[in-house]
Amino acid sequence: MLNLISSTWEWLVGMLPEPLRPYAMPILAITIVLNVNLGVCSYLILLERKLSAWMQDRHGPNRVGPFGLFQPVADMLKLLLKEDVIPGHVNKVLFVLAPGISVFTTFLAFAVVPFGPVPSNLSPGDGQFPFIIAPGVDLGVVFIFAIGSLAVYGIILGGWASNNKYSALGCLRASAQVISYEIPLGLSVVGLAMLNSSMSIEKILINQASHGLIGWNIWYQPVACVIFFIAAMAEAQRLPFDLAECEQELIGGWHTEYSAMKWGLFFLAEYTHVITISFLTSILFFGGWHFPIIAEIDSAYPGATLVKVAVLLSKVFSVIVLIQMLRWTIPRFRFDQLMGLAWKGLIPLATVNVVLVMTVLQFKVYQLWLFPLSMATFVAAGLMATQSTRPFERRGPAPVEEQGHGGHATAH
């Protein structure tokens, strides 16, 4: 079966003119990633609606098709066929551009994320499926963060071009939040980069896989993992961090004025972002496609590649489900709490974590000491948080209304 597919593919590539042949495989990868991503996004939305329904003792969407399985199709059709309203008071160019920027940047960030075991001897044109759109990017992590922070342009432009106070407030909040959380996000990965002496996502993955289960970065960087996860959720504007679009205060936040497919694009961008951060979390901290016994670095049984892909995808799926469950579990932060968490909690913790890694590397201590050390840091931070809270002072007596204050007080 696989042979048949690969020989058909080779025949198809052979049909192409010579200079185009090296591009065939990347284009195939891009096509697969884009289309799978779109389909998966719509079904993740269904999953999220079902999950939230089950959590709240409801049934969730169950009218379209068996168990509501065709609901995404109905949703997509609705979004496509709805009237696309562009209000008269908006800046039309930026208003139309903003959803495009959002989707473009989130998809672009996916370019350096491996979604399977990337072959080590990859060269263009040798017929191996790369399992990554852009192989061999040595600054993969930095690339993702750079592109990810570009995504805020979509939000800012959308909110500003809407010419609406709710949108403006939403996009201001979004920019403040994204800029604040960039720092812990970046700092949490610095430790990883130092431990693996590489910024390439593929290399970090291979490094973990070659050391077995004990090589997973979660054992060396547990606190960094938590920081990364929290900061990445904040970057993706997922609840509990969706201050930018909180309905009670800002109607719809920065996409108040958007409707139909333009709104759908924002939504798609958010979900793609969630998928990307789930990939990153499982690749950077949980060993990617590695799993003891069934998917080791040297497992070469037939179909091992598919098993590795399956292992990676199930890890990613678990992280996505965790993110979705968190959304329906934790209430939204207040804005000062959000900022406090980043600046007073995550950034100092991440910095201490980086210092720990540097110390361990400098003095060539056994690296697993990082696990207890990280835990100790976490406990210390918790203790500092409890101990530094000033005891509540008893407030003074309640303000007593003055007697004889004009005719008002005597009239009671």
Partner 1 sequence: MPINAKDVEWVEEPPMNFWEATFLPAVVDGLCATGHHVTHFQSVTQMYPEVASDLPKHYRGVHRLNRDDAGRVKCVACMMCATACPARCIDIVAEEAPKDDPKWVDRDKFPKSFVIDELKCIYCGMCEEACPVDAIEMTHIYDLTGMSRQEMMFDKEKLLSVFDQTKDCGLDPVRTHKGRLGPASDFQQLPTLGPATAVLGDDRSAKATSPGVIAD
- The footprint of partner 1 on residues 216-255 (CB under 8 A) is 226
3-state helix, strand, coil in the chain (%, to 5): 70, 0, 30
- Residue count, binding to partner 1 (CB under 8 A): 34
* Region from 25-33, 65-73, 320-328, 362-370 binding partner 1, contact rule CB under 8 A: 320-328
Q: How far is the CB of 291 from partner 1 (least distance, A)?
A: 23
Q: How far is the CB of 9 from partner 1 (least distance, A)?
A: 41
State the binding string over 31-60 for partner 1 (x if CB under 8 A, else -). --------------------x--xxxxxx-
Q: Is 410 a residue that touches partner 1 (CB under 8 A)?
A: no
Looking at beta carbons only, is 53 or 246 nearer to partner 1? 53
H/E element holding 150? Answer: helix 140-161
Among 9, 70, 153, 328, binds partner 1 (CB under 8 A): 328
Determine the Cα–Cα distance for residues 269 and 73; give it in Å rounded to an integer: 18
Map 76-101 to HEC letters: HHHHHHCCCCCCCCCCHHHHHHHHHH
Burial 241-254 (b: 16+ CB within 10 A, else e): bbbbbbeeebbbbb
- The footprint of partner 1 on residues 58-77 (CB under 8 A) is 58-59
Q: How far is the CB of 330 from partner 1 (least distance, A)?
A: 6
User: Which residue type, as a one-letter code, is found at position 391?
Assistant: P
Looking at beta carbons only, is 328 or 335 nearer to partner 1? 328
Q: For residue 263, report the phi and psi dihedrals to the nearest 5 degrees.
A: -65, -40
Looking at beta carbons only, is 43 or 127 nearer to partner 1? 43
Q: How far is the CB of 393 from partner 1 (least distance, A)?
A: 9
Please name the residues in contact with 215: beta carbons below 8 A apart, sequence gap of 6 or more: 207, 208, 209, 287, 290
* Region from 103-111, 146-154, 189-197, 324-332 binding partner 1, contact rule CB under 8 A: 324-332
Q: Is 381 a residue that touches partner 1 (CB under 8 A)?
A: yes
Determine the Cα–Cα distance for residues 349 and 230; give it in Å rounded to an integer: 13
Cα–Cα distance list, 410 to 100, 199, 329 (Å) = 66, 76, 52
Q: Is 372 a residue that touches partner 1 (CB under 8 A)?
A: no
Q: Where are the alpha helices (DSSP H) in 299-343?
A: 304-327, 335-340
Please name the residues in contact with 331: beta carbons below 8 A apart, sequence gap of 6 or more: 240
- The footprint of partner 1 on residues 165-224 (CB under 8 A) is none
CB 112 within 8 A of CB 201: yes
* Region from 34-42, 190-198, 293-301, 376-384 binding partner 1, contact rule CB under 8 A: 376-384
Determine the Cα–Cα distance for residues 338 and 332; give it in Å rounded to an integer: 9
Looking at beta carbons only, is 179 or 330 nearer to partner 1? 330
* Region from 127-135, 254-262, 304-312, 387-395 binding partner 1, contact rule CB under 8 A: 387-395
Given the structure tokens 């959803």, which residue do they identify?
99
- The footprint of partner 1 on residues 390-409 (CB under 8 A) is 391-392, 394-395, 397-401, 403, 409
Given the structure tokens 């007073």, which residue do they identify?
344
Give contact residues for partner 1 (rule: CB under 8 A).
Answer: 51, 54-59, 226, 322, 325-326, 328-330, 378-379, 381-383, 385-386, 389, 391-392, 394-395, 397-401, 403, 409, 412
